[in-house]
Amino acid sequence: MMPGQSYVLVVEDNLADARKVQRLLSANRWGIQVRIVERVSEGLEHIGEADPVVILTDLQLPDSRGLRTVDSLCAAAPHVPVVVLTATGFEDLGATAIKRGAEDFVPKGELSRETLSRVLALAVQRRQNQLAALKVAKRDALTGLPTRQDLESLIASARREGGCAVAFLDLDGFKSINDRYGHAVGDQVLRVVAARVTSELRPADSLVRLGGDEFVAVIADAETAGTDSELTRRLSRAIGRPLRVAGHELKVGVSIGVAYAHAHSQIESVIAQADGAMYAAKSGEPRLVTEEGAPSDHLPVRRHVIRDSVTGRSEGLTVSLRSASGEPRPVTLADLDRLPHELRAPASSPAEPGWLLLPVTARLIDDPEFETSLQRSFPRPAGVVLALDEASTRSVDPVQARVRRLSEAGFGIALDNFTGMTMRPFDLCGLPWQYLRVDVAWWQDSLNVLQRLVALHPEARVIAGARRPAAPLDLSQYSLIECDPH
């Protein structure tokens, strides 16, 4: 049935289900080895050795949940059909998995020798047809990724949606692997690298193989060079993990150069800038570049004063960051180490003048390095108030657990710019917040919702943003006012 192929890979942490699949495959007398693993990471190691004929996988695994399992396996082995094993009654999830790249799905309650034989045979045939179509479409035959011909159109599409980042990746140490172990091993290394990079990207992002050991990632909605610095660190860490191919323990590094593109950028110029930044990184001078091509070491911080609405006394500062195009953008992990020194030593507590309000996102809080980096940047946490975005209040652990730990460590907590349209009071009850930062223009017609929020914490203080309003606003009802320093 499947000449030239050596094994079927079963990724399933339920041993009884895995053994059942093994029995059914053995009953067909195909003479094919069945390899059973419990984790996606273990499956990727087997794929690194040699491609299986087909992959059968559960979606709920110890190290991967839901459709991310399909994404990882399809990226690691684009030539191999993936068949999903679903629980009975979850056929809709199986259908969604097909849209994400799986060839088919089988409810576990319907597993039989005939069903499994038919599904696997059809899956292999469909994948062979798809590979033939990929060649016609001029996709990269080795990785299944878009090629150099697709790069400009991908950048053009991403920049129209609010700007994008273009990251050039060039592997370090790949040539020596190719020379020593041969092209077959080198090709498998490239597949594994493509899979690892893909797993670090979001669905809206794209990865292109230029040729050889060069790739380009197009990052949608990347507001800043700082965000790209965070991405650079993640990609370097993922690519740099040891990998096992054909019995060899191997390791490659990567040099990355990033350029930012907005709606009016010249695509050719952005590509050249990212390419130049990559070669600078390879020569030992890593840097990020803005759309204009200049090294971006300066952190564009904008300060706003927080004043007492009655006395007018200055109580603290809010910091906000700007992208290369001048638009507001989130604080990233890399930014914490680049904040000006005077902002890292605020007052000893928010009760003293000079405390700092720092906006943070759920994505930032979810980074496993966030707590360590924050405490390193702010050794006096009592003078820092973290302003959480709405996504933070709706996130389950570990985000909310980290918020509570940071509160216990002495950091103040504020809810940032909440909108009455999407706020749900029960989301906020478990969070230890003391401040509510609001956009006054938004809340003028939604004061009843604001009152509901404040009722949850009568002792909370409202920080009203009043930065150059279009019309005079009544701010007397708010305890604190945030305004331009001049």
Q: Is-contact 259 270, C-beta < 8 A?
A: yes
Q: Is position 213 annotated as part of the catalytic site?
A: yes
User: In this structure, how many other beta carbons lie within 10 angstroms of the beta carbon of residue 434?
Assistant: 15
Q: If we measure between CA atoms, which residue out of 124, 125, 120 comes closest to residue 106?
A: 120
Q: Is-contact 356 317, C-beta < 8 A?
A: yes
State the Cα angle at 472 between 471 and 475, rounded to 5°: 130
| Rg of the chain taking only CA atoms, in angstroms | 26
Cα dihedral: 315, 321, 322, 328 (round 10): -80
**Is 171 exposed, middle or buried (CB count within 10 Å of its CB: 0-12, 13-18, 19+)?**
buried
Q: Is-contact 373 340, C-beta < 8 A?
A: no
> If you search the block for the tokens 């907590």, which residue do you land on?
413
Phi, psi of 484 (to 5 degrees): -65, 150
Q: Where are the alpha helices (DSSP H) in 343-429?
A: 362-366, 370-377, 390-394, 399-408, 425-428
State both tokens at 130. Answer: 């798809």
Q: Omega before 398 cis (within 30°)? A: yes
Cα dihedral: 352, 358, 364, 367 (round 10): -30
Q: What's the per-residue H, E or C state across 446-467?
A: CHHHHHHHHHHCCCCEEEEECC
What is d(CA 239, CA 252) in angstroms, rounded to the nearest whole number? 7
Q: Where are the alpha helices (DSSP H) in 87-224?
A: 91-99, 113-136, 148-160, 174-181, 183-200
Q: If we measure between CA atoms, which residue out of 61, 77, 81, 80 comes closest to residue 69?
A: 61
Residues 6+ apart with CB under 8 A from 156: 267
State both tokens at 205. Answer: 């992002």
State both tokens at 273. Answer: 């800038």
**Catalytic one among 213, 228, 275, 416?**
213
413 forms bridges with which residues in the sheet?
A: 386
State both tokens at 428. Answer: 């906020």
470: alpha, beta or left, given left = phi > 0 and alpha = psi -120 to 50? alpha
Q: Is-contact 275 168, C-beta < 8 A?
A: yes
Active site residues: 213
